[in-house]
Structure 1
Amino acid sequence: MSQTTVLHVGGLHWATSEHAIESILSRREGVEAVEANAANQSATVTYDPDRTSVAELAEWVRECGYHCAGRSVPMHVCEPMDEDPVPEAARAHAHHADQARHPAAHVDATHAGHTAVTTATTAAEHSPHEMMGHGGHGGMSMDDMVRDMRNRFVVAALMTVGIALWSPMGRDMLGFTAPAPFGLRDDVFALLLSLPVVFYSAWIFFDGAYRALRNRTLDMMVLVAVAVAAGWLYSVGITLTGGGEVFYEAAAMLTAFVLLGHWFEMRARGGANEAVRALMDLAPPMATVVRDGEPVEVPTADVLVGDLVLIRPGGKVPVDGTVEDGTSEVDESMVTGESLPVAKTPGSTVIGASINTTGTLRVRATKVGSDTALAQIVALVQQAQNSKAPGQRLADRAAFWLVLVALFGGLLTFAVWLLSGASVETALLFAITVV
């Protein structure tokens, strides 16, 4: 019987890169359907558990060049997948926990745009950035990604102004007459100004194009990267061979405008993601568990099925369970929408993330990790966000063919002009114009 899970996909910061994840995973054995969503950096995967597993799915995502910590559920609810070797004692403790914990609780996930957190055993040894890797935007929060995109755009915009002023466009159309500094030719000065644009601002396009080509697919990152690289490399060649008509301003302007669009997209994405983030923040990070008759405070991820949890007045219920001792009223409005507190007596069920208001309760944990009601709600919300309308699927396929047609058109133009007797420089010039 098919199962559906939501995987965290760190580094999926372009909507145009969703197709790469969907394409590579859909070709894997046991995967029936994939819907990726850059808005919350996750992918909904329907798979056959008899032929593959969540761990294999996560590994395949990492093979695509992205970061994956496993299922995308509240960070306080489950402990992360261990990717690094752990000490023998920690492994023994994990094995003991495996006996009592639901298998699904092994796989953690992080909320969208945020890095994975480590278990109590490994948290002190590995930073979130180390756990998630260093490529692209992996390890960055959504706020950091927006800030990084803004910085790239600002650099590109400032350099583009200078490049445009000392270009034929600035000279002829704007009447700019100031000579280039240090006695340099205009094209040489434009080359120097274009270096931070290409090797900082536009580098993220080359990274996205590399990931797409590595996964044998085409997306808009490939088209932008080819356009910027072709225009810039052609101009560098002209500059180094004595000067002529160059396109530094075109490459810089294209970079700046595309970055501006992605900056706005990321800002909007952060707002759309607040709902899921707020849901995930409902889970309390710590829980008080009664062990050997003494209350012990432990991370919520370490609570096992069958543990006796002590919940004092004003505290949040860490996991789903059944009241064994005590009476109180519990505010379940954040989960059920019911504004009035619900009376709880021995035998009553309580929902994780609800708030105990009046009395002290002792609750026997019945559902932990990704089995809790909160984790299920988050998964359903993310699945809804990741689902695509038929029109959007058609647009994704059209983007692939658009890139293919543009690249083929550029190659065809180059070949036709070359065969017609034009110089390589002229043929390359028209090919770049087409792309």
Structure 2
Amino acid sequence: MEKGNKGISHFDHFLQNQESSVVNKFQQKYWKTKQTLIKVTGKKEDEHVVASDADLDAKLEVFHSVQRTCMELLKVIEQYQMRISLLSQEENELGRFLRSQGSQDKSRAGKIMQATGKALCFSSQQRLALRGPLGRLYQEVETFRYRAISDTWLTVNRMEQSRTEYRGALLWMKDVSQELDPDTHKQMEKFRKVQTQVRHTKTGFDKLKNDVCQKVDLLGASRCNLLSHVLTTYQTTLLHFWEKTSHTMAAIHESFKGCQTHEASALGGSDQAAKKKVKKKTKEPHFGNDDTFSGGQEKDGLSLLNEILGSSSLEDRGFSQEWREVFGEDDPTGSSRAETQPPEDEPAFFLPSTLLDQNMNDLQSTISGRTTAIPQNSPENSSVASQISSKSAVKDTSKDLSAWFNLLADLDPLSNPDAIGRTDEEHELLNA
């Protein structure tokens, strides 16, 4: 009987252990889920627990930086290769265009264009050599990303799960410790179970934490070695490219010496335009003098007309003398007597010669008044007027003869338009 009772007690103890293990797992899942919700929602955690993982958080920042920069580097390398191809293509087309245009020009400029076109074609071909090191760099970085970074990322994920379990166990132990009473030994067994669970989770978390820190350090060092090794080839190729291109361009630059640049020709054209403007400005005052000279000529023409009319008035006085000799009258229309004598002393009879003398005197007075009203300021006008007056004095005799010819021409019926279409009696009166 005693053996049977012992067997039953062992079976009951086994069932109790099974039940406690199921409850224990359920409680572990509960606190782990609670810690996950705290992390997702961003609630504030215990500052001491967070401070204990400061070095791990720094390593995680380095890992995320390496992961992000590797992705960006792959994109930049791809775009760089595409830009190099486009630039080389455009440069090659420009070189071919210069060579074709230079072959049509037989001057020195055509030779320079051909040399420049050949240099551009050579530069485009040398630039394409950069795609080899860049392609190798792209492959190395892509392999590094798919292998090293992926492996580290898996380790980081396992570490994050272990840390969540560890922090959940800490929350569970904190909750159990609030109900713990050491004096009555209440909840002591439960607290010990939770404490054992915390130690177990901490051991796994510390191991994964150490693995993550070591892998992140190794990841950064391996990337530095990778870039330094691959970029050395790219740097060497780039230096050779620029050396060859610079030597070629320097040789072409030597052939450019002695040629006038576009800027110099443009400056020369602007200087010529400025000189033309200055000449135009200096000519403008001369045009003003021409205007004053033309005005003086007009004034001199008026004075000349005055002299001619004055001579014609003298001729009219000669005509009145002829009238007196023919008709036997004693100075019936003297201009001086007409001005000095009062209106009562004028003769009672009227003669045509009196009207002619009076009209000529009025015309002479109006012309003389107009000429005196015009100012004579410029010395050039006075000199020109003196020259014209001297010429008129030389030609007085010829003017007297022309006046007699005009007087005789008045006797011609065709030269007098007023006599056309009138009777003989009216024509005789006009001739008289």
Q: Which has the higher contact order (CA 8 A, sep 6+)?
A: 1
What is the TM-score normalised by the length of structure 2? 0.29
Structure 1 or 2, whichever has the larger Rg, is 2
More strand by share: 1
TM-score (norm: length of structure 1): 0.29
